[in-house]
Structure 1
C-alpha cells in the first residue's frame, strides 16, 4: 500500500512537470499576439496570469477536465438556461469546473472507501475501480442536481413575491404613475429576488434599452409563466397604452389561486402519507391493547 501511494505521488509529480513544461514551451496564440496588439489597441486584454501556485499548477488541468465533462455530458444549453433563470453571474465554464471539483470530492471519498475495502477485505481491483468511477460520477451529478434545486427554489420565491408586487404596481399605476416610476417605487419598499429582477429591468431602461425589450428580457430570464405574462402585459401596455390596473389585479388573483390549489394538492398528498403510521403503527397497537386483557383472562381461566 505504501509503495502504491509513493508511486502515485511520483507519477503525478512527473505528469504535472511534463504538462507545465509543454505549456511554457508552446505559448498560446493570445500570448503571442498580445505584445503586438497592446500598443495598437489600448483596450486589448493582456493574458491573465495565474492567481497563485495552486492555480498555476492545477488550473489548466481542472479547466481541461471541465471541458471534457461538458463534452461528455452535453447539455451546455440546458446549463446556460438554468444559470440565466437563476440570475447567476457564473458562466458555463465555471460551472463545469465546479462539477469537476465536486467530482474530485466524490472520487476522494470513493478512494478512502476503496482503500478500506482493499486493506480489510481484499476486494478485487475492478470492483474498486468501479467504486471510484461511481464516486466521481455521483459528485458531478450531485452538482447538476444542486443547480436544478436552486433554480426551483428561486422560481418559488419569485412566485411567492409576485402577487404583492403586482398589487403594489397596480396601486401605483392607479395613482397616476407610469409603470417605470411604479417599479422604482416598488424597489424602495420591497426586497427579494423579484425586486432584484425588476431593478435589472429598470437599469436596462435607464441605459437606453427599449422598454418593451427590457420587459421581454425579464420574461425570458425568469422562466415562470405568471411573471412572463406579467412582463408581456407591461410591454403591451407601454406600447399601446392599454389599461393595466385590472390586468395586474387579475394576474395577482390568478397566482394566489394557483398557490392555494397547489397547497391543497400538497395537503392531499400529505394526508395519504399520514395514513401509513396510522395503519401500520397506531392501529396494531390499539388492537393489541384491546384484546390483550381478554387473552390474559382466558389464559388464566383455562389454567384454573
Structure 2
C-alpha cells in the first residue's frame, strides 16, 4: 500500500466522520430532553424571546475555530461518557455484574486492555511492514484503533456480564418469590424467610440473599437491606418485588398476600418474556427456511421438468 492509498483512506475517514456528524446532529436524530421541553413553560423573568439572542455575539470572545469544532467535541464527549461512564455508574455496574472489584482495579483493567490492543496493533503492523511497505499514517491509525478497541472491549464485556447475571437471576427469581411467599404465609417472619432462602438457594440470587442477611445481622434494618439488594441487582422485577415488601412493611399490610400477588406477577412476567423469546426465535427460524430450504425445494421441483424438456429436444 503506497502513500496515496493511505492518504485517500484518511480523507475518506474524515469525510465519513463529517457526514456522520451532520446526520446525528439533525433535529430528527437528536430528540429534545424533557427538561428542555418543560423549561419554556416554567421559566420566569424572561422578557425577550430566546430566538432573538445571537449565540455568536455571546461567544464573541471565543475563537471561531473553537465554535466550529464545538459540536464535534460534544459528540466525542457523549460517546466517551457512554463507553467510559462516571465512577458511580461503574460501581453500580460492577455490583450488578456481581464482581468484587474496586473502581481502581476496573480502571486498571481498562488500561491493561488498551495496552494489550496497542501491543497487538504494533505487532500486526510490524509483521505487515516486513512483507511490504506500510505508510506511517496508516500504521499509526491502526495501532491507535487497536488500543481504543481494546479499551472499549472491557466495557462491552462488563455489560455482557451484567446481562448474563440478570438473566440467571430472572430464571431463579420466580421460584424464590414463591418460596418466600409460602414461608411468610406459613407464619415465619420476613427475616426468617430471607434466612431460609439464603440457606436453600444457590447461585447468584442465593448470594444476594446471603449478602442481605449479613446486612440485617450487622444492624441494618430489613427494609434498608432489601432496598440495597434491589439497588445492587438493578432488575425491574426484583425492584417491584422489593418495593412491595417495603410498602407492606411500612403500612402494616398483611405480607403473605402481598408476596403471593408479587410472586404471581413475577410468574406472569417470566411467561411474557418466554413468549417474546419464542416469537423472536420463530422469526429467526424463517431465515434458513426462506433462504435455504425453500429455494432447494423449488430446484428439486423444477429440475426434473427442465431435464425432460432438454431430453425432448
Normalised to the residue count of structure 1, the TM-score between the two structures is: 0.72
Q: In structure 2, how many angstroms separate the alpha carbons of the residues matched to 1:74 and 1:169? A: 36
Partner of 1:109: 120
Q: In structure 2, how many angstroms separate the alpha carbons of the residues matched to 1:259 and 1:176? A: 27
Partner of 1:257: 268
Asked if the contact 2:183–2:193 (Cα under 8 Å) also holds between the matched residues in 1, the reply is: yes
Deviates more, 1:133-142 or 1:76-85: 76-85
Q: In structure 2, how many angstroms separate the alpha carbons of the residues matched to 1:74 and 1:228? A: 23
Partner of 2:92: 81
How far is 1:238 from its partner?
A: 3.2
- CA 1:87–1:74 in 2, change beyond 3 Å: closer, same or farther? closer
> Aligned ranges for residues 158-237 of structure 1 at < 5 Å?
158-237=169-248
Partner of 2:13: none
How far is 1:75 from its partner?
A: 2.9
Given the alignment, which residue of 102, 108, 121 partners 1:97? 108
Q: In structure 2, how many angstroms separate the alpha carbons of the residues matched to 1:271 and 1:208? A: 51
DSSP 3-state at the match of 2:117: helix
Gaps of 5+ in 2: 1-79
Q: Deviations over 1:210-259 (max 9, x none)?
A: 22221221222221122122222223333333211222122222222222
Q: In structure 2, how many angstroms separate the alpha carbons of the residues matched to 1:276 and 1:230? A: 39
Higher RCO (CA < 8 A, seq sep 6+):
2
Partner of 2:299: 288
Q: In structure 2, how many angstroms separate the alpha carbons of the residues matched to 1:108 and 1:198? A: 43
How far is 1:73 from its partner?
A: 4.0
Q: Deviations over 1:77-134 (max 9, x none)?
A: 3212201222322111110100111122222221121112211121101101111111
- CA 1:240–1:147 in 2, change beyond 3 Å: closer, same or farther? same
Partner of 2:144: 133
Runs of 4+ residues deviating >6 angstroms: none
What is the CA RMSD across the aligned residues, in angstroms?
A: 1.9
Asked if the contact 1:159–1:255 (Cα under 8 Å) also holds between the matched residues in 2, the reply is: no
- CA 1:84–1:268 in 2, change beyond 3 Å: closer, same or farther? same
Partner of 1:15: none
Partner of 2:60: none
Asked if the contact 1:102–1:139 (Cα under 8 Å) also holds between the matched residues in 2, the reply is: yes
**1:277 paired to 2:279:** no
How far is 1:151 from its partner?
A: 0.8
Asked if the contact 2:185–2:257 (Cα under 8 Å) also holds between the matched residues in 1, the reply is: no
Given the alignment, which residue of 111, 123, 134 partners 1:123? 134
Partner of 2:49: none
Asked if the contact 1:179–1:234 (Cα under 8 Å) also holds between the matched residues in 2, the reply is: no
Normalised to the residue count of structure 2, the TM-score between the two structures is: 0.70
How far is 1:265 from its partner?
A: 1.7
Number of residue-to-residue matches in the alignment: 233
Q: In structure 2, how many angstroms separate the alpha carbons of the residues matched to 1:225 and 1:296? A: 62
